[in-house]
Amino acid sequence: MSTDLRFVVRPGGRLQGDIRVPGDKSISHRSIMLGSIAEGITHVDGFLEGEDALATLRAFRAMGVEIEGPDAGRVVIHGVGMHGLQPPDAPLDLGNSGTSMRLLAGLLAGQGFEVTLIGDDSLSRRPMKRVTEPLALMGAEINTTPKGTAPLMIRPVDGLRGIDYVMPVASAQVKSCLLLAGLYAEGETWVTEPAPTRDHTERMLQGFGYEVMIEGPRRGVRGGGKLVACDIDVPADISSAAFFLVGASITEGSDLILRHVGMNPTRDGVINILRQMGADIEVSNERVVGGEPVADLRVRSAPLRGIRIPEDQVPLAIDEFPALFVAAACAEGETVLTGAEELRVKESDRIQVMADGLKALGVQAEPTPDGIVIQGGPIGGGRVDSHGDHRIAMAFAMAGLRASGEIEITDCANVNTSFPGFADLAAATGLNLEVAHV
């Protein structure tokens, strides 16, 4: 990714309007994956046309799946069935997308052809043993670098066998990877999670007519079934909405409506945490679309207070913490996060990178091995390095609403992986943001 894109945010402004942020990235990925191996034609609306989801789409095209679009968020997938994927001519380049790589490792482990998964520099540093080791227990043969990172070379095997796996760390990507491998395994595959994680894979499998067995914290599938095409309407991504929820909460005079936001109970931690801090978030028009709960959100400015973030909310808000750290910086008192070591192996070490950025703006922020302690107070101007992490860049953009000086954020090109059009939408709602090509 190019690193010559910067955000420059000037102080002042407030967020107002009625908007719909782009579609949910997790659901967009899974719609392509499951639609491709289903029988029949799947129609998707609201597909996120960001780099990560497009990497998944290109991968399945490379394996012989006919996919029309995306055209204004509409995609038509001509499914090839469970065993219709073809060996690609070249390695599948998944760019910056950890979701694509980890889920595809599971889906492709039992296909019977050789395939290599590669990614950009950031993805090539992220840990993959968390999926390759349990897949090996199922009989998969996947080679990594000595560090357990990409490229992943997946070799054909005679067949996979079901396992009963207890995850050491709560991770939706690991759970989904193993369930997708389980579709191709003999017998039953069970995954037990130590804490609830997003359940989009389970919901969508059921939407495609595939039985998912649920017993408390355990999720299971039986191999040998089939998926039947269906229609999917992708909700707006709550992870993208989070930046606007925080921005409006921290800025006097803000009043913003966010439409058709995904309200999956495994993903709504950001709303729960902000409300505990005193945020004014109103939920209305609740409904279920394609198995996923959605609602409209109205957020108005409110004085926030520091809290000790409940550990049971951490997995439900794992991607939203960069935005929540900015809320904490604007809150009265101290905010303490624990139990979030997962943040250290995201697109960047989000604990350290956020702490460094907050300190650069004059905020007291002390990282700990599994979290951070932030003292609310004034935010100054300054320069912040996002380390190519889209969520870091967008979080610090919102900090500009409360800053006393200009904030310059470097290395912002990857914002397009999850939120194409962020800068334009943020500016249209009242953020004083300019994009600079350096």
Report the candidate in 317, 226, 182, 233 with the shortest Cα–Cα distance to residue 28. 233
Distance in angstroms (rounded) separating the CA atoms of residues 25 and 239: 9
Residue 18 φ/ψ region, left for φ over 0, alpha for ψ in the -120 to 50 degree band, beta for the rest:
beta
159 with 112: CB under 8 angstroms?
no
Quick one: which of 362, 306, 264 has its CA closest to 30? 264
Whether 282 and 44 have beta carbons less than 8 Å apart is answered as no
Q: Are 22 and 50 spatial neighbours (Cβ–Cβ below 8 Å)?
A: yes
CA distances from 347 to 109, 114, 127, 259 (A): 24, 27, 11, 27
For residues 254 and 301, the answer to whether their CB atoms sit within 8 Å is yes
Per the listing, tokens 């090539």 go with 124
Catalytic residue among 319, 385, 389, 411: 319
Would you tell me the crossing angle of helices 422-429 and 238-250 to the nearest 10 degrees? 30
> In the annotation, is 370 catalytic?
no
CA angle 157, 158, 162 (to 5 degrees): 90
5-9: strand order across its sheet = 382-385, 407-410, 5-9, 433-437
Q: Which residues are catalytic?
A: 319
